[in-house]
């Protein structure tokens, strides 16, 4: 019997994502001027107010107010009627120095002996149901909001959009776990109060979402995925009614509250640790990227159709406590999942220092991760510019989303005899 599976996404203007983007912008600026920076930075956003808190060990000093305002402006909170606006919001910084008790477990005389920044378990996941090896429901949820943000910035076909939005996609699967059709799509988008009649305003929004946004998303997909958009989709567009009050004025936002949106949309598993605002010595972040890199390369190499990888650590200890692999019964090799895990541990060095080096994580690459998911994104080289507190300008070339590279296929195929 067929079954349904649902994932959601949130836009860059969602209050929790505003907080994530501010925290990751601070990480990038610290790393741009001091690659050895240790940072754990949390952000709270609410009506007319931003609060920054956290711990930092760095040789650089930042103008956190300017960085914060630049992020808010880039997202699109630039009008006073939003009750949260880049130039006028208050910014309180309570950032202080990192605890020496924590730092002593991370920094070592020999860099390769660097200990994990915390205990815990991290998961990586990959599936062959999409080109980017991501779960389909989440991938479509992200695409809907990326295109909605593009329409907002173009301000041509749809002229009333505001930054805050959420999406949700429910996929119907057959017994063989193949997607059959899209059962429902939910879009809640913040908007201007552009019509005195609420019913007519909501009717316009629903018509524009279905007739303008959906075709743009379909056009991005391969023909076999376009077929999933049949005429029986249930659309829920702003189902609660009008959505004028939104963003940090509508809901308080906090760093790290969208960890499922950031990863796999409820597929696979999650260890519970957030990513944004953390430098790569925090294995919550770096090991989650490393396990995604492993899972994606295993699936792409043909070891299995679907793979979940777990790694765990003790704080201050370099060697992981364990590596676990679950192929969900889709393995294509004559090995148990435990034997696959042993080979994974031989191919990939999962000590924190070697993860940082392999994936180039001590570079300012994190702002781009803070909206529309950390996984399944495009690996590319870009040039970024940073401005120091003293006016110093720094231009750096960095490689984004290194954990999405399929650069271990040969090693994996050789190890597994593929």
Q: Are residues 394 and 264 in the same domain?
A: yes
Question: What's the pLDDT score for residue 104?
Answer: 57
User: What does the pLDDT average to over 123-147?
Assistant: 97
Question: What's the pLDDT score for residue 391?
Answer: 86
Reference 356, options 263, 279, 410, 295; nearest CA is 279
- 380: which strand partners? 400
Question: What's the pLDDT score for residue 100?
Answer: 63
139 is in an annotated binding site: no
147 is in an annotated binding site: no
251 is in an annotated binding site: yes
Question: What's the pLDDT score for residue 105?
Answer: 54
Contact by Cβ (8 Å): 88, 69: no
Q: Is residue 337 part of a domain?
A: yes
Q: pLDDT digits over 322-379, tens only?
A: 999 999 999 999 999 999 999 999 999 999 999 999 999 999 999 999 999 999 999 9
Q: Are residues 217 and 73 in the same domain?
A: no
164 is in an annotated binding site: yes
Q: Is residue 22 part of a domain?
A: yes
79 is in an annotated binding site: no
Domain count of the fold of the chain: 3
The residue segments making up the domain with residue 396 are 120-127+258-273+280-416
Contact by Cβ (8 Å): 62, 389: yes
Q: Of 59-63, 67-71, 293-297, 378-382, which range is least confident?
A: 59-63
104 is in an annotated binding site: no
Q: Are residues 51 and 154 in the same domain?
A: no
Contact by Cβ (8 Å): 374, 410: no
What CATH number corresponds to the domain at position 26? 3.30.300.10
243 is in an annotated binding site: yes
Strand ranges (E), 11-138: 38-46, 49-57, 90-97, 120-127
Question: What's the pLDDT score for residue 101?
Answer: 55
Question: What's the pLDDT score for residue 382?
Answer: 98
Q: Are residues 237 and 264 in the same domain?
A: no
Q: Are residues 266 and 403 in the same domain?
A: yes
Percent pLDDT > 90 in the chain is 91
Q: pLDDT digits over 97-128, tens only?
A: 866 655 555 665 677 778 888 899 999 999 99
Q: Is residue 351 part of a domain?
A: yes
Q: Are residues 81 and 144 in the same domain?
A: no
Q: Is residue 143 part of a domain?
A: yes
Cα 160 from Cα 154, distance rounded (Å): 11
Q: Are residues 286 and 373 in the same domain?
A: yes
397 is in an annotated binding site: no
Cα 45 from Cα 164, distance rounded (Å): 13
114 is in an annotated binding site: no
Question: What's the pLDDT score for residue 266?
Answer: 96
State the pLDDT confidence band at 71, using cuts at 50, 70 and 90: very high
Reference 114, options 315, 346, 365; nearest CA is 315
Q: Is residue 250 part of a domain?
A: no
Contact by Cβ (8 Å): 309, 131: no
Across the chain, what does the average pLDDT equal? 95
Structure tokens at 298: 């295993």
Q: Is residue 329 part of a domain?
A: yes
98 is in an annotated binding site: yes
Decide if pLDDT at 143 tops 70: yes
N- to C-terminal Cα separation, the chain: 34
230 is in an annotated binding site: no
165 is in an annotated binding site: yes
User: What does the pLDDT average to over 16-20?
Assistant: 98
Name the pTM for this structure: 0.96
Q: Are residues 370 and 268 in the same domain?
A: yes
Q: Are residues 218 and 103 in the same domain?
A: no
Decide if pLDDT at 245 tops 80: yes
Structure tokens at 255: 């760093």
55 is in an annotated binding site: yes
State the pLDDT confidence band at 183, using cuts at 50, 70 and 90: very high
Q: Is residue 218 part of a domain?
A: yes
State the pLDDT confidence band at 307, using cuts at 50, 70 and 90: very high
Q: Are residues 216 and 316 in the same domain?
A: no
Q: Is residue 253 part of a domain?
A: no
User: What does the pLDDT average to over 64-90?
Assistant: 97
Q: Are residues 263 and 398 in the same domain?
A: yes
Handedness of CA 134, 136, 142, 143 (dihedral sign): positive
Q: Are residues 264 and 379 in the same domain?
A: yes
Reference 418, options 355, 335, 359; nearest CA is 335
341 is in an annotated binding site: no
């Amino acid at each position: 019997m067929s079954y349904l599976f649902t994932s959601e996404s949130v836009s860059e203007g969602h209050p929790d994502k505003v907080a994530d983007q501010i925290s990751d912008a601070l990480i990038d600026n610290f790393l741009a001027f001091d690659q050895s920076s240790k940072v754990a930075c949390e952000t709270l956003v609410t009506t007319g107010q931003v609060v920054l808190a956290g711990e930092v060990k760095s040789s650089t000093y930042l103008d956190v107010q300017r960085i914060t305002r630049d992020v808010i402006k880039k997202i699109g909170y630039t009008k006073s009627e939003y009750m949260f606006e880049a130039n006028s919001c208050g910014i309180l910084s309570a950032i202080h120095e990192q605890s020496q008790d924590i730092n002593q477990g991370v920094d070592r005389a020999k860099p390769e002996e660097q200990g994990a920044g915390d205990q815990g378990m991290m998961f990586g996941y990959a599936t062959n149901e999409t080109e980017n090896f991501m779960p389909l429901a989440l991938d479509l949820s992200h695409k809907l909001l990326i295109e909605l943000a593009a329409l907002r910035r173009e301000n041509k076909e749809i002229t009333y959009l505001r930054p805050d939005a959420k999406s949700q996609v429910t996929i119907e699967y057959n017994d063989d776990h193949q997607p059959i059709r899209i059962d429902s799509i939910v879009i809640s988008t913040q908007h201007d109060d552009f019509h005195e009649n609420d019913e007519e305003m909501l009717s316009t929004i629903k018509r524009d979402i279905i007739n303008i946004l959906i075709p743009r998303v379909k056009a991005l997909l391969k023909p076999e995925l376009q077929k999933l958009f049949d005429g029986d989709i249930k659309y829920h567009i702003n189902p609660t009614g009008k959505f004028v009050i939104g963003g940090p004025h509508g809901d308080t936002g906090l760093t790290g509250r969208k960890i499922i949106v950031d990863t796999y949309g409820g597929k696979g598993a999650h260890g519970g640790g957030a990513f944004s605002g953390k430098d790569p010595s925090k294995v919550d972040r770096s090991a989650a990227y490393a396990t995604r890199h492993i899972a994606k390369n295993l699936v792409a190499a043909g070891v299995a159709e679907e793979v979940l990888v777990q790694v765990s650590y003790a704080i201050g200890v370099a060697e992981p406590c364990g590596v676990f692999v679950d192929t969900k019964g889709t393995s294509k090799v004559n090995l148990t999942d435990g034997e696959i895990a042993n080979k994974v541990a031989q191919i990939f060095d999962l000590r924190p220092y070697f993860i940082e080096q392999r994936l180039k994580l001590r570079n300012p690459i994190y702002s781009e991760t803070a909206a529309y998911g950390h996984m399944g994104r495009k690996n590319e080289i870009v040039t970024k510019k940073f401005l120091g507190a003293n006016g110093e300008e720094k231009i750096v070339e960095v490689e984004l989303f290194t954990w999405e590279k399929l650069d271990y296929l040969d090693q994996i195929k050789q190890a597994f005899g593929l």
